[in-house]
Copies of this chain bind each other. A is one copy, B any other.
Amino acid sequence: MRQAGRSLPEYRALRQGVAMLDACMRADLIIEITLQPVRRYGVDAAILFSDIVLPLKALGFDLDIVPGVGPVIAEPITDSAAVAAIPTFDAARVDFVAEAVAGLVSELGSTPLIGFAGAPYTLASYLIEGGPSKEHAKTKALMHGAPDVWRALMERLAVISAEFLRVQVEAGAAAVQLFDSWAGGLSPHDYRTHVLPHSAAVFADIADLGVPRIHFGVATGELLADMSTAGVEVMGVDWRVPLDRAVDRVQPGQALQGNLDSTLVFAPWDVIESETLRVLEAGRLAPGHIFNLGHGVLPDTDPDVLARLVDFIHSQESPVEG
């Protein structure tokens, strides 16, 4: 469950007075925050506490996460000079991540840790827009209007994403998730032409590591078929797409991850249970199914409801993982 911390009082206590990216750059906090939902819920895997823009920040890029806004970039990228000025990856700059992963793996024991990185498109959208955006008009304008600049930018970001994942796996992460938050705003043609090759480059780059690769984006129903060709073992599916439809769109043999609507935790338990059973039922059509929420945990979520949900999943006899 991504962003599970947001709903935990112990997370909020820990983050008191600590900025988001500062928390993501301290090994002790990464470890503690990553462990909190595992302790609380007994989920079957942990996902590294981090942020999509963290590697850029760690490499020296001038950006910040403004509470209530999101990532804000001091000098948005508009041309090839700005692309050339993006720092190259240097594992020494993210040594706190390697340290945190190593610490986590020893704390977690048999519970696997999933590594995490943002996909090139989502990173590019922040760098070009200068911050969060609804329409990504500037991003798409650069993509169409300056394809050479676009390609250079995406190639650079793909290396950063891949190398950031490599650091995590080499330190002990058992799987990776590449998260493309905003890809769902692209038409399939734009995605296929301008984005997919670069996501595929990330996965190809880390293929030698031999860990399962998970790919996910929100509102990507129309892109699932293309995304699933990027070189992945597991496709994450948001709540909009029933898993029995998703299974027909992804590559044969791929497992699915998802996809209970994150807002359903506010419904009465009988609704949560019946919707969970519907997700499990649909997921049985896939060669493998990792149950989770179809998006991040919402901040107002009652941790007790999530605990009950995890217990319920574990009580089901079918060969699903919680």
Contacts and interface: CB of A to CB of B under 8 A. Distances in A.
Interface of A: 135-138, 140-141, 144-145, 184-190, 219, 221-222, 239-242, 245, 261-264, 266-268, 271, 275, 278, 298, 300
Is chain A's interface secondary structure helix, strand, loop, or mixed overall?
helix
B187 A267 contact: no
Given A145-B267, A267-B145, A268-B145, A187 B140 contact: no
A239 B187 contact: yes
A26 to B, nearest CB: 29
Contacts of A144: 264, 266-268, 271
In the complex, the count of this chain's copies comes to: 2
Contacts of A261: 140, 187, 190
Contacts of A186: 240
Contact of A266 (B141, B184, B190, B271): B141
Nearest to A266: B141
B264 A140 contact: yes
Contacts of A140: 261, 263-264, 266-267
Nearest to A260: B187
Contacts of A262: 135
A278 B189 contact: yes
Contact of A187 (B184, B190, B242, B268): B242
Given A144-B264, A263-B141, A264-B140, A135 B298 contact: yes
